[in-house]
Structure 1
Amino acid sequence: MRVLRRTLGTLLFLGAAVSCAPAPGDDARPGAVRPAVLAPYERLLPAPASARTGGTGYVFGAGTVIRTGPGGDEEVRGVGELLAEQLRTSSGLPLPVVGGSEGDGVRLLLDEGAEGVGDEGYRLESGPRGVTLTARTPAGLFHAGQSLRQLLPASGPGTVPGGEITDAPRFAYRGAMLDIARHYFTVEQVKRYVDQISAYKVNTLHLHLTDDQGWRIAVDGWPRLAEYGGGSEVGGGPGGYWTKDQYRDLVAYAARRYVDVVPEIDMPGHVNAALASYAELNCDGKAPERYTGTKVGFSSLCVGKERTYEFIDEVLGELAAITPGRYLHIGGDEAHSTPAADYAAFMDRAQEVVGRHGKTVVAWHQLAAARPAPGAVLQYWGHDRTPDAEKTAVAAAAKAGHPLILSPADRLYLDMKYDVTTGPGLNWAGFVPVKRAYDWNPGSYLAASGVPQSAVLGVEAPLWTETIATRSDLEFMAFPRILGLAELGWSPGPANWPSYRQRLAAQAPRLDAQDTTYYRAPDVPWG
């Protein structure tokens, strides 16, 4: 048996050696980077907690079936149907889905007593008669299925090598954020992103739905928010918005892939689209023009008006009613036009509204300087140059029991340029090459400021869209850096760049087969 396990930051491959040297006839220029030849279990991304390889594997063929276990669990059946759909696309095989667990094929089994897998993990066992996926929950079975996909060729049928994986995530929250306010993206475009990130065990999609440049979600009680406020975007394009049915459809689509949607209505700043839609939300009763630029910090809801709180109650109430997940994000960043005392008073009331509608508050880390509600989650987007006082406030909130989502801008902001040669993107937080996005430790990232590892709920990679207007641009900025986020959030760590870059390179055929646009980082041996 070959054993693979992450220990002290190194993937140990016990068995045949893996060589990165050029083969005879290969390009042997000085400095040329060549891909290693990795066995299927060695290619997995995110890296599993442990894997053993050996023995005879299972050959996928025309007679392969997906078996969804005894008991007729409808959710397990749904996982099996989706896995079959995904594997049919890549393999070209019929892959019928049947009940029961007896017989050859791919078997999906729920076992509440499965050891070492937690709520989202799984065990995968491959032998000559089939592949058995075992988990405590349907979510775990889904993640097992995504690993199974990586053990097969990116296109065409193949053989799952003999072996066993036991796996579980490091962090509960593994997120990607997409800003559809600066530039509008359709539900179908976002569904594609859900498919791409869920394949790598990312389990949260944070949607930035509103900003100065556009309002993207319909609200029955305030129809001009979408109808008028949704009619603009950066650069003066037509914008757009989602109906509530379209939002529900996206939420259901994501849920089938075990991705929770966290909607964000940014406040009290970043609100020009709302102020332009309703004059009554302005302190002077005069609506400004719609905004298509990229400056920040100039807009604010009128903190002293009671109508403002009626507005946020109705907006957040409607959104909470169509969002099954536990979180509502209320922004709170860059409120430069709201005095500090007014900001704190406003956030007190906004957090109370979220709680009244049965949700947990998420806000950007500036909330730490006000009064975070009990249980509120703070999302940290600072970077190396963030003032120590700001980090100290975040640490105090963490010590008081507020979980943290880490999104350091100089590590995980996917809108930052890779380097001086690439575009689109920005560089106010510095350039973020692929190695920098991956090669850090979320658990100790803010330890010097006093944040304990136990306070870290997880990681999230935001993609702001001031300069991003097309699917191709979105994918180019997200891939391959979002895969580093996936590994940081799932794998036991610490990060291991030499191993990771080889496994990242091994994803190229899969990305190519799915027509994903991605940046071919020069220090990754793509081949």
Structure 2
Amino acid sequence: MRLLSGLNGPRGPRRPSGPLGLLALAVCAALLVPVSAAGAGQRARAADPTAYDRIVPAPAHTAPGGPGYRLDARTVIRTTAGSAAARGVGELLARALRPATGLALRVSGTDAGGSAADGIRLRLDARAADQGEEGYRLRADGTGVVITAYRPAGLFRGAQTLRQLVPVTGRPVVAGGTVADAPRFPYRGAMIDIARHFFTVEQVKRYLDRLALYKVNVLHLHLTDDQGWRLAVDSWPRLAEHGGGTEVGGGPGGYWTKAQYRDLVRYAGERYVEVVPEIDMPGHVNAALASYAELNCDGVAPARYTGTKVGFSSLCVAKERTYEFVADVLREVAELTPGRYLHIGGDEAYATPHADYATFMGRAQQAVVAQGKTVLAWHQLAGAGPVSGTALQYWGLDRTPAAEKAKVAGAVRAGAKVVLSPADRAYLDMKYDAATRPGLSWAGYVPVRRAYEWDPGAYLAGVEEAAVLGVEAALWTETVATTADADLMAFPRALGIAELGWSPASALSWDAYRLRLAAQGPRLTALGVGYYRAPEVPWA
């Protein structure tokens, strides 16, 4: 994760094939057929077609043109009859559009009835399997807006595109045109570290809401580290009660109850975001060691830690009690988490000899599999026998030695998948430049352009695009203590990482992206985000 010894120093083009190729050719022409003139009273003048050039992430295919649709007091959001999931997407869309439109949009649990021009339709279509789990089609014209998807997740992603087509201020007119869209990668993640500095569930929900607008679909929670243990565990209660009682700098820390964690998981699920909990081990465990003396080889609990050094702590690999601890914790976390993955850390275990590390990670992986989950771990696991189907999260740098990258490629040949979080591209705690406060710079400065200009499908030698699950923007919090800090460091760089995960490679162009990003400035401001006004972006 971080080659950090303290706070020293200043803070191939490819179009998607398969379903989307068919979608662009077979669907878009149909979407451009002239529609009925019914509802002329709600027709707007042709809205600004460049709205389709401002969407982030860039859709796979757009065709702007024709009259736009003006939302007014008669607008209804109609959803597929009998689908609670579609109705839920409609309710979230209505809530999100109210601040910009000033309209209390009504949601109806049927897309039948009413005039042809009374609003927005969210349609699930069993015949649209070629769109995949998250693909969607959107059509806007003088009669209204229609979003069609095979699955509710696709409706939700399409609704986020519609939100960006509604102006933040002024007349609530959706520009005429069509979108045919689906993601390049299935995993588009964002990590927040609540161990170094504690963040509440409400703070994390706020962060999640803003990321979901840009089609992020994984929330990775770094729940434990040397400085704090942030989730209640019934079988080992002192982990949270004692280990959660501090943070970097000596603050009061805190932890989430199981009910609070469940609430966040539910909230994320409503937004089609999968929660991935991380219990970091065998290093990064001082909070656990301080809570239970029996987890230490010498039977002596160390003091709680409030600094920022890494690599000094380790669970006692030789003790069977250690593996009882691991099994108990992972069982309770798995019971709270409906998602596929349990992240078991595995990085910077400098205090654990390699043979012990391999032994420990083997047992920890077995504990994950026993819960019916898939192992996710930092890429150091590549050198210690990842089990079949493991996902490795790569956090190395462009300059990381080839031998280390080759280990990851070897694990991929043996069946592993990869999530890419290169620290000098996707670590949101890195400073933009020497003047940035807060932040770190051990991986170098990461301006907005650098965070965007790399290709996940061709980043690691020997790792084909088919082995890449996707990307993740990681926000570590050694120096990030408040929501304002998080906003400044994450936005706008998280938007660029989200685009790398969603958009076809052929759509990735810094010159085009910087203009689309600039147009997001007023939207971020309206959402209350105190983003970094990068000088390389011509902000609106």
Question: TM (normalized to structure 1)?
Answer: 0.92
Aligned to 1:480: 492
Runs of 4+ in 1 over 6 A off after TM superposition: 5-8
**Shift in CA distance, 126/116, structure 1 to aligned 2, threshold 3 Å:** farther
- Residue 113 of structure 1: CA displacement? 2.2
How does 1:20-169 map onto structure 2 within 5 Å?
39-70=50-81, 72-102=82-112, 103=115, 104-114=118-128, 117-155=131-169, 157-169=171-183
For 1:373 and 1:385, the matched residues in 2 are separated by: 27
How does 1:281-430 map onto structure 2 within 5 Å?
281-430=295-444
List per-residue Cα deviations over 1:505-525 (Å, max 9, x = no partner). 000110111110111010100
**Shift in CA distance, 38/277, structure 1 to aligned 2, threshold 3 Å:** farther
Question: What amino acid sits opposite 1:204 in the alignment?
Answer: V
CA contact (8 A) 2:283 2:349 kept: yes
List per-residue Cα deviations over 1:53-89 (Å, max 9, x = no partner). 111221101110000123x111111111111111113
For 2:64 and 2:403, the matched residues in 1 are separated by: 50
CA contact (8 A) 1:214 1:233 kept: yes
Aligned to 1:11: none
Aligned to 2:25: none
The count of corresponding residues between Structure 1 and Structure 2 is 492
CA contact (8 A) 2:49 2:176 kept: no
Aligned to 2:516: 503
- Residue 94 of structure 1: CA displacement? 1.2
Q: Secondary structure at the match of 1:383?
A: coil
CA contact (8 A) 2:49 2:177 kept: no
- Residue 348 of structure 1: CA displacement? 0.6
CA contact (8 A) 2:452 2:500 kept: yes
CA contact (8 A) 1:92 1:156 kept: no
For 2:477 and 2:303, the matched residues in 1 are separated by: 21
Are 2:184 and 1:170 equivalent residues in the alignment? yes
For 2:131 and 2:173, the matched residues in 1 are separated by: 25
Question: What amino acid sits opposite 2:334 in the alignment?
Answer: A
Question: What amino acid sits opposite 2:109 in the alignment?
Answer: G
- Residue 310 of structure 1: CA displacement? 0.4
Aligned to 1:14: none
CA contact (8 A) 1:68 1:108 kept: yes
- Residue 255 of structure 1: CA displacement? 0.6
Aligned to 1:464: 476
Q: Please, which moves more after superposition, 114-123 or 184-193?
A: 114-123
Aligned to 2:41: none
For 1:163 and 1:514, the matched residues in 2 are separated by: 26
Question: What amino acid sits opposite 1:519 in the alignment?
Answer: Y
Question: What amino acid sits opposite 1:53 in the alignment?
Answer: P
Q: Secondary structure at the match of 2:131?
A: coil
For 2:374 and 2:398, the matched residues in 1 are separated by: 29
Question: What amino acid sits opposite 2:498 in the alignment?
Answer: A
CA contact (8 A) 1:265 1:331 kept: yes
List per-residue Cα deviations over 1:289-339 (Å, max 9, x = no partner). 000000000000000000000001000000000100010000000000001
**Shift in CA distance, 58/245, structure 1 to aligned 2, threshold 3 Å:** same
For 1:427 and 1:38, the matched residues in 2 are separated by: 41
Q: Secondary structure at the match of 2:505?
A: coil
5+ residue gaps, structure 2, are 1-12, 17-47
CA contact (8 A) 1:80 1:97 kept: yes
- Residue 162 of structure 1: CA displacement? 1.3
- Residue 99 of structure 1: CA displacement? 2.3
Question: What amino acid sits opposite 2:466 in the alignment?
Answer: S
List per-residue Cα deviations over 1:184-233 (Å, max 9, x = no partner). 00000000001000000000000000000000000001110000000010
- Picking from 255, 263, 268, the partner of 1:241 is 255
Q: Please, which moves more after superposition, 180-189 or 378-387?
A: 378-387
CA contact (8 A) 1:92 1:157 kept: no
Aligned-pair Cα RMSD in Å: 1.4
For 1:100 and 1:385, the matched residues in 2 are separated by: 55
Aligned to 1:12: none
For 2:398 and 2:98, the matched residues in 1 are separated by: 46
For 2:14 and 2:105, the matched residues in 1 are separated by: 33
- Residue 6 of structure 1: CA displacement? 9.3
Question: What amino acid sits opposite 2:363 in the alignment?
Answer: R
Question: What amino acid sits opposite 1:100 in the alignment?
Answer: T
Question: What amino acid sits opposite 1:522 in the alignment?
Answer: P
**Shift in CA distance, 56/365, structure 1 to aligned 2, threshold 3 Å:** same
5+ residue gaps, structure 1, are 9-36
CA contact (8 A) 1:116 1:168 kept: no
- Residue 504 of structure 1: CA displacement? 0.1
- Residue 267 of structure 1: CA displacement? 0.3
For 1:146 and 1:510, the matched residues in 2 are separated by: 12
Which of structures 1 and 2 has the larger relative contact order (alpha carbons within 8 angstroms, sep 6+)? 2
CA contact (8 A) 1:212 1:272 kept: yes
- Residue 387 of structure 1: CA displacement? 1.7
